[in-house]
């Protein structure tokens, strides 16, 4: 199905459409909000004029079978109301230019997309065109010659750096790391199917198993940049580093730039990279060109794209994404009692894994073994050391042989495959779990991982398959019979058009069973 145009619903302005200027030459699609409270207030007043579309229901009813799955009409109309409709048009054009044509567009705008699963796990490093995308706003178009980075806050010598300065190896030595980025919404669809939660399509897009990817990122360690600025002001308690992205973000009727923070200890460990290179290529626009943040082992939301400002601060950022989103709530917290303060902030990503092939509800003809393949990951400075699979829902586990797992990296996933012994036929539940180097593993059931915002589906991943074991004589005979009658075995729901046995075969079988009824 061809991707939809980005302006699916008509927009009717109420009053004069405002013009919010792009402050910097060569920075298209970027409006500075955080420095101008009056501008933010003006935008908020404009937004109050409108009755924007309600969020679409995608949890209590089946997901649309379209691609894009969801279109993000509210965010398009927020932009249109502020005279910024060119941003979502440019963003969609960038998606079509830079991403593979068979991506699943989970959300059209702001763009969220994941690649086909079989290609995702084909290589250790994800092709740039296939790398998942989780954006929170539109995609700016920034001239690298005009790009600058402000370093300020609680640093001794605030500076403004150009891209040429940042890339000058006489000033900043290069750093290159293989790092997996993962959205906290990975596998959210499993929670949605069983236990729905908050239904905001931007915050809680219905991700499958593909919201994770791995790349070699090259740039400079943020610690080196802070050192170049004289280090932190010693007596001011600068415990956190705040990042500003050039995309426009909306929250509860307000307008913002995308702002989050990470603890200083993460920067001190050289686990925060300012990157301009992705897998040996110039960083794509959709992934944050000219420069983005890459935070090792953390939730992907902290790896800010289109970076333009870094500030050393005392407490974690008070910006809405940091304070009001990516919160993990206790199981009894929900719409009736959720507050920003009673969920904890998601930072380190926990141990997780997924079966990519076979897919859920597949019908598989085999000879006593079924090949499973997928990925395993653990963040926060941990790495997968063992993957186990089960063919009976989690009672008996088989270890994936070490030689069937990809290279071990400090900050990256491992792909894996195994030929699982399967004797049983009919519907079976396959599942996978990972153990990391700290002996962490996954909860057994999705119910154990449920939380109101549907983040971090870290339970053992499960897929149901229909097993057809042709090493069994009766099954082999039926398959031969079907072939002779030009009748496929799959899908299993298609009825067989010929008799299942002859009268003679039936009588012989019933005689051996003493027929249907008891003797007396």
Residue for token pair 């230019």: 97
Angle at the Cα of 65 from the Cα atoms of 212 and 91, rounded to 5 degrees: 55
Domain with residue 225: its CATH number is 3.90.420.10
Residues 338 and 411 in one domain: no
Residues 326 and 362 in one domain: no
Residues 337 and 375 in one domain: no
DSSP string over 225-243: HHHHTT-B-GGGT--EEEE
Residues 175 and 307 in one domain: yes
351, 440 Cβ separation under 8 angstroms: yes
Angle at the Cα of 366 from the Cα atoms of 363 and 508, rounded to 5 degrees: 90
Residues 486 and 341 in one domain: no
Residues 376 and 491 in one domain: yes
Q: Which domain holds residue 395?
A: 351-441+459-519
466, 362 Cβ separation under 8 angstroms: yes
Residues 334 and 394 in one domain: no
What domain count does the chain have? Answer: 2
Residue 7 lies in a domain: no
Classify 117 as helix, strand or coil: helix
Per-residue pLDDT of the chain (520 residues), as tens digits, is 445 555 556 777 777 888 898 889 999 999 999 999 999 999 999 999 999 988 999 999 999 999 999 999 999 999 999 999 999 999 999 999 999 999 999 999 999 999 999 999 999 999 999 999 999 999 999 999 999 999 999 999 999 999 999 999 999 999 999 999 999 999 999 999 999 999 998 889 999 999 999 999 999 999 999 999 999 998 778 999 999 999 999 999 999 999 999 999 999 999 999 999 999 999 999 999 999 999 999 999 999 999 999 999 999 999 999 999 999 999 999 999 999 999 999 999 999 999 999 999 999 999 999 999 999 999 999 999 999 999 999 999 999 999 999 999 999 999 999 999 999 999 999 999 999 999 999 999 999 999 999 999 999 999 999 999 999 999 999 999 999 999 999 999 999 999 999 999 999 999 999 999 998 8
Residue 248 lies in a domain: yes
Sheet containing strand 384-390, edge to edge, reads 362-366, 461-469, 426-436, 384-390, 398-399
Residues 198 and 331 in one domain: yes
Domain boundary among 303, 325, 345: 345
Residue 2 lies in a domain: no
Centre a 10 Å sphere on the Cβ of residue 371 and count the other Cβ atoms it contains: 12
Domain boundary among 345, 371, 401: 345
User: Phi/psi of residue 466, each to 5°?
Assistant: -100, 115
Residues 320 and 375 in one domain: no
Residue 20 lies in a domain: no
Domain with residue 410: its CATH number is 2.60.40.650
Residue 155 lies in a domain: yes
Residue 13 lies in a domain: no
Domain boundary among 311, 345, 379: 345
Residues 121 and 224 in one domain: yes
Report the alpha-carbon distance of residue 389 to residue 392 in Å, rounded.
Answer: 9
Residues 340 and 361 in one domain: no
| Neighbouring-strand partners of residue 462 | 431
Helices in 304-347 by DSSP H: which ranges?
Answer: 320-324
Residue 366 lies in a domain: yes
Report the alpha-carbon distance of residue 303 to residue 213 in Å, rounded.
Answer: 13
Report the alpha-carbon distance of residue 187 to residue 443 in Å, rounded.
Answer: 14
User: Phi/psi of residue 61, each to 5°?
Assistant: -130, 165
Residues 341 and 356 in one domain: no
Residue 3 lies in a domain: no
404, 416 Cβ separation under 8 angstroms: yes
């Amino acid at each position: 199905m061809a991707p939809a145009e980005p302006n699916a619903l008509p927009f009717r302005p109420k009053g004069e459409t405002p013009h919010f200027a792009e402050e910097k030459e060569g920075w298209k699609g970027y409006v500075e909000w955080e420095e101008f409270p009056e501008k933010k207030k003006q935008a908020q007043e404009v937004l109050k004029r409108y009755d924007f579309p309600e969020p679409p229901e995608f949890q209590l009813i089946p997901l649309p079978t379209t691609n894009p799955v969801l279109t993000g009409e509210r965010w398009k109309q927020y932009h249109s109301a502020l005279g910024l409709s060119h941003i979502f048009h440019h963003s969609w054009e960038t998606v079509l230019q830079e991403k593979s044509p068979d991506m699943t567009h989970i959300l059209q705008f702001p763009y969220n997309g994941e690649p086909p699963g079989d290609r995702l796990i084909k290589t250790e490093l994800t092709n740039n065109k296939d790398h998942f995308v989780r954006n929170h706003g539109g995609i700016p178009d920034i001239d690298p010659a005009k790009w600058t980075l402000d370093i300020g806050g609680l640093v001794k010598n605030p500076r403004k750096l150009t891209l040429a300065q940042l890339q000058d190896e006489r000033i900043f030595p290069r750093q290159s790391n293989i790092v997996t980025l993962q959205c906290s919404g990975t596998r959210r669809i499993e929670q949605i199917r069983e236990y729905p939660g908050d239904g905001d399509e931007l915050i809680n897009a219905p991700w499958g198993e593909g919201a994770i990817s791995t790349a070699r990122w090259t740039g400079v360690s943020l610690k080196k940049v802070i050192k170049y600025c004289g280090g932190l002001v010693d007596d001011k308690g600068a415990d956190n580093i705040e990042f500003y992205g050039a995309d426009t973000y909306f929250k509860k009727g307000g307008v913002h730039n995308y702002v989050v923070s990470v603890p200083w200890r993460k920067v001190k460990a050289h686990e925060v990279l300012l990157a301009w290179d992705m897998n040996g290529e110039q960083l794509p626009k959709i992934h944050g060109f000219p420069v983005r943040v890459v935070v090792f082992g953390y939730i992907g939301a902290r790896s800010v794209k289109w970076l333009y400002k870094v500030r050393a601060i005392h407490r974690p950022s008070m910006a809405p994404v940091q304070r009001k989103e990516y919160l993990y709530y206790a199981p009894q917290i929900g719409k009736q009692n959720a507050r920003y303060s009673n969920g904890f902030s998601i930072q380190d990503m926990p141990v997780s894994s997924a079966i990519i092939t076979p897919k859920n509800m597949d019908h598989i003809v085999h000879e006593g073994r079924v090949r499973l393949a997928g990925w395993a990951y653990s963040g926060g400075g941990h790495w997968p050391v063992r993957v186990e699979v089960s063919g009976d829902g989690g009672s008996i586990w088989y270890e994936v042989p070490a030689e069937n797992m990809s290279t071990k990296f400090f900050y990256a996933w491992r792909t894996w495959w195994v030929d699982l012994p399967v004797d049983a036929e009919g519907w079976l539940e396959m599942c996978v779990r990972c153990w990391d180097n700290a002996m962490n593993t996954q909860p057994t059931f999705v119910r154990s991982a449920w939380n109101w915002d549907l983040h971090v589906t870290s339970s053992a991943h499960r897929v149901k398959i229909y097993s057809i074991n042709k090493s069994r004589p009766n099954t082999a005979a039926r398959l031969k019979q079907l072939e002779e009658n030009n009748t496929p075995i799959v899908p299993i729901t298609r009825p067989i058009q010929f008799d299942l046995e002859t009268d003679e075969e039936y009588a012989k079988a019933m005689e051996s069973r003493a027929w249907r009824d008891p003797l007396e």
